[in-house]
Amino acid sequence: MIGGLAAAQLLCANYADDVSLFLEAGGMGLLLQVVQEVAGTSALLLFALTAIDCACRHGQACEALVSQGKEPLLVLLEQKQQPPVGQLLRRILCCLSVYQIATTFEVFYFSCPSLLTCCFRLSYITW
């Protein structure tokens, strides 16, 4: 298990082109499954969460995590965790929140760019 988590970290940290292959093969689902299985062991949990954190540096991984559900991470955050584990969980969830905001803005911008430009001009004038 440790070797697989190390390989996932190495892949996501150093080989950005291969992250999509890792995700298409079900890598994020496997990482979430490992997180659920090692939830009682702080060291292994930290190692698994570090692999997820490395993966979440890529937009495709954030999309995969959002689509597969971030509930296991939220459940872990609700439980009392060691400080490094809690900090890493919050960092991952914050990254996912930023990703969701950015994609929402992107969808809004490409669906009606003239409306968005008008809104920014009006807000600029009123301030």
Q: What is the pLDDT of residues 7-25, one digit of tens each?
A: 888 888 888 788 889 999 9
Q: Which residue has the higher pLDDT, 32 or 120?
A: 32
Return the pLDDT at 119: 54
Roughly how many angstroms between the first and final C-alpha of the chain, as a whole number?
56
pLDDT at 88 over 90: yes
Full-model pTM = 0.82
The alpha carbon dihedral of 89, 44, 63, 71 has a sign of negative
